[in-house]
Amino acid sequence: MICITKKIEFEAAHRLSNYSGACSQIHGHTYKLEVTLCGPIDPETDMIMDFKNLKLILQNTVLSHFDHSLILKDNPENRMIFADYSGKVTWMETEPTAERMIEWIVREVSRILPQGLALTKLKLYETSGSYASWEK
């Protein structure tokens, strides 16, 4: 099976409201995401998918949702603290850990991939030395 991988970056801030350390405060990351798709090569294009089209899918899902956003768990504490915040907020059902964010990315990207293509691996780097990964 042949696979392709696209890497993107986005900036976001978050806080972990159920955490007792420094990560309970708002802080930011330059997230790096690697997305790997596998599937048959289209004989007309000689590609699994044009990288440009994969980038567009990632822009319409991941980047539109998370880029330059404050990512928060949707709970009463955060709703109260950030009630007057006028910037972009992305509310999650869970704490915005790398593990939970990658679950969201898998779900959202998988549902809009063209027929015959499979999402097979993702890596979401929160820092240069720390990442969450998912593999089919």
What token pair was written down for 88? 């972009």
What's the pLDDT score for residue 112? 94
Span 71-91, average pLDDT: 96
Confidence of residue 9 (pLDDT cuts 50, 70, 90): very high
Question: Tell me, what DSSP letter sits at residue 41?
Answer: P
Span 37-42, average pLDDT: 96
Catalytic residue positions, numbered:
23, 68, 126
Amino acid at residue number 136: K
Q: What is the pLDDT of residues 48-70, one digit of tens each?
A: 999 999 999 999 999 999 999 99
Q: What CATH number corresponds to the domain at position 65?
A: 3.30.479.10
**Residues annotated in a binding site for Zn(2+):** 14, 27, 29
Q: What is the domain extent for residue 110?
A: 2-135
What's the pLDDT score for residue 23? 87
3-state secondary structure of 111: coil
* Residue owning tokens 């009630």: 83
Residue 18 has pLDDT above 90, yes or no: no
CA 32 – CA 91 distance, rounded (Å): 20
Alpha helices (H) along the chain: 51-58, 64-66, 76-81, 98-110
Q: What is the mean pLDDT of the chain?
A: 96
Cα–chain-centroid distance for residue 38? 19
- pTM, two decimal places: 0.92
Amino acid at residue number 118: A
Confidence of residue 124 (pLDDT cuts 50, 70, 90): very high
In three-state form (DSSP H/G/I as H, E/B as E, the rest C), the secondary structure along 2-37 is EEEEEEEEEEEEECCCCCCCHHHCCEEEEEEEEEEE
Number of domains in the chain: 1
**Residues annotated in a binding site:** 14, 27, 29
Tell me whether strands 69-73 and 89-92 are parallel, antiparallel or unpaired. parallel
What's the pLDDT score for residue 81? 94
What's the pLDDT score for residue 132? 98
Span 103-128, average pLDDT: 96
